[in-house]
Structure 1
Amino acid sequence: MKTIKIAGVPEHFNLPWHLCIENGEFESVGIDLQWTDVPEGTGKMCQMLRDGETDIAVILTEGIIKDINAGNASKIVQVYVESPLVWGIHVDAKSNYYNLEDLENKKVAISRLGSGSQLMAYVNANNQKWNTENLEFEIINTIDGAIESLAKRESDYFMWEKFMTKPLVDKGTFRKIADCPTPWPCFVIAVRDEVLKKHPNTIAQILEIINITTQDFKEIPSIDRTLAEKYNQKITDIQEWLSITEWSQSQLSIEMLNKIQNQLFALKIIEKKGTFAEIIKTI
């Protein structure tokens, strides 16, 4: 039995992994796939890949591309979710912010430096024609940290996947000001170079198993009910989310990689652009 460690956010996107693990699909081919939930998100997972705390990360595309460019010895082996991530832009429900323009030059709550919540703050600011050099950040680690930070006025707004924060909006904790979709596929699967070198066949088997599940994931009977219960969502919200979410079984194309890097470079999020071979490894 080969032990492989994998990390991902505790969100609805990753239910296919949990189903495969619970059904013993990896075990049946001699793989002990050990899942770790990482509520802190992409910045933390980049660090875990660097430190060898995880072998695989199901991670935001822009975050891992930035970190590989900065020396993370990992590669993207596949796109996991093809559709964009729809980020909600949230403020404390008791605040005086009601429109996007109210948030110009205001402080952003982010999970970690290099996280998707930070990188998308740059994308949003650029979309609004704001001066991105004026962005200021408050590190809050998790959604709970964001709730506290916004309530205490230590930060002004927080960007996170809009369906995961919807219960907080419904409860009157957050007010959602706007949506900001990523201009690229949202999640990829990244693997440490050392693991790719030592266990290429194992990684190929893992991808094969997860791809079979994601291909038919939406057809699983009552999957909307299962997701709603597991992730504390209204069934109507989950049905909307399922309707706009597409999983992938393909590699990131060179055209899409160039598009992402060009945008990250223009926003000064990366200092240099990596080559396809430096960032991508097709199994």
Structure 2
Amino acid sequence: MSMKQFKIGGVPEHFNLPWYLTLKNKEYHEVDINLRWTDYYGGTGQMCKALREGEIDMAVILTEGIIRDIINGNPSKIVQVFVKSPLIWGIHTAKNSDYKSISDLKGTKAAISRYGSGSHLMAYVNAEKQGWDTEKDLDFEVIKNLEGALNGLPEGKGDYFMWEKFTTKPYVDNGPFNIVGECPTPWPCFVIAVRNEVLENDPDAVSKILDIINATTEEFKEIPCIDQMISNRYDQNIEDVQEWLSLTEWSQEQLSEAEVTRVQKKLKQLQLIESEKPINDILG
């Protein structure tokens, strides 16, 4: 029997270590699936494009980003939550910047990886939280990815940059960034999305993949020396890793209808979508 070929994409961050471990152990081969992982440094916007173009079959992707893209015609569905705790977005400025607080950033330029990505959508969530006018007080500069921000922010390409705060922490401790505040997502942060074509043709393979990853995330925090492994692999201080582990919860369940509704309502209120879609168009 020949192996099923499957392609999955995700960000190269500590959240996705469970995928790396299951792939390294060749666990998918045991159920006749050859799952190949691609790192997407450009994040959600880049992965939405890859799903649309059939470059990948599945993605581990930010909830608000994929819901917005499905509403805008991405032929995919969410099959499960991957991380149910919020993502804690750090709001960063350059070390050499005059901006020292979130309120200083009103009306300045947010550096974003691309339109439709988490760094773009969360700038709206943050603006609304601060009571800013999302029409007048937001402006954007596209910088592609974290590296683009590390190089661009000190040169004045964008004034602030929102990214997951533990990923950027090393660059705050000894690099070009300051952190002036935080903005957690008001919903579970990462979901697993699959192209509709794949869901129709290969539902069995999809559920086998989910079974394997879920068995790993359920036990993930109990893996011996997991904090040390994350610290080494992602170049993080062990204390930061331990704090991150204490705040992060993986999930093995589908996103609830209430959560989908909450995300859609917020996207609509921020004028990031024109209208809401039926739940069945979003959840697979």
Q: Alpha-carbon deviations, 1:90-124, whole Å to 9, x = none? A: 00001111111100000000001100000000000
Runs of 5+ consecutive residues of structure 2 not aligned to the other structure: none
Kindly report the root-mean-square deviation, in angstroms, between the aligned alpha carbons of the 2 structures.
0.5
| Secondary structure of residue in 2 paired with 1:259 | helix
Displacement after TM superposition at 1:29 (Å): 0.7
Question: Partner of 2:165 in structure 1?
Answer: 162
Pair 1:60-2:40 in alignment: no
For residues 227 and 271 of structure 1, the distance between their equivalents in structure 2, rounded to whole angstroms, comes to 40
Matches of 1:152 and 1:15, distance apart in 2 = 33
The runs of 5 or more residues in structure 1 that have no matched partner are none
- Counterpart amino acid of 1:186? C
| Runs of 4+ residues over 4 Å off in structure 1 | none
**Cα deviation, residue 148, structure 1:** 1.9
Query: Percentage identity across aligned positions?
Result: 57
One-letter amino acid of the structure 1 residue matched with residue 201 of structure 2: K
Which of 84, 92, 100 pairs up with 1:98?
Answer: 100
Q: Which residue of 2 aligns with 1:181?
A: 184
Query: Which position in structure 1 is the counterpart of 2:115?
Result: 113
User: In the alignment, what sits opposite 2:81?
Assistant: 79
1:192-231 equivalences in 2 (<5 Å): 192-231=195-234
Counterpart amino acid of residue 201 in structure 1: D
Report the AA paired with residue 223 of structure 1.
I
Does the residue aligned with 2:35 lie in a helix, a strand or coil? strand
TM-score (norm 2): 0.98
Shift in Å, 1:149 = 1.7
Provide the residue aligned with 1:41 in structure 2. Answer: 43
Deviation at 1:24, TM superposition (A): 1.1
Deviations 1:21-75 (A, max 9, x none): 1111101110000000001000000000000000000000000000000000000
**2-structure distance, mates of 1:217, 1:271:** 39
Give a deviation string over 1:159-196, Cα, whole Å, max 9, x none.
00000000000013100000100000000000000011
- Residue 190 of structure 1 aligns with an amino acid whose one-letter code is A
Q: How far, CA to CA, are the matches of 1:49 and 1:257 in structure 2?
A: 20
Equivalent in the alignment of 1:268: 271
Q: What amino acid is the match of 1:34? A: R
TM-score by structure 1 length?
Answer: 0.99
Per the alignment, residue 125 of structure 1 pairs with: 127
Deviation at 1:154, TM superposition (A): 2.0
- Tell me the SS of whatever aligns to 2:6: strand
1:245 maps to amino acid: T
Aligned residue among 238, 242, 246 for 2:241: 238
Matched residue count:
281
CA distance in 2, matches of 1:78, 1:228: 27
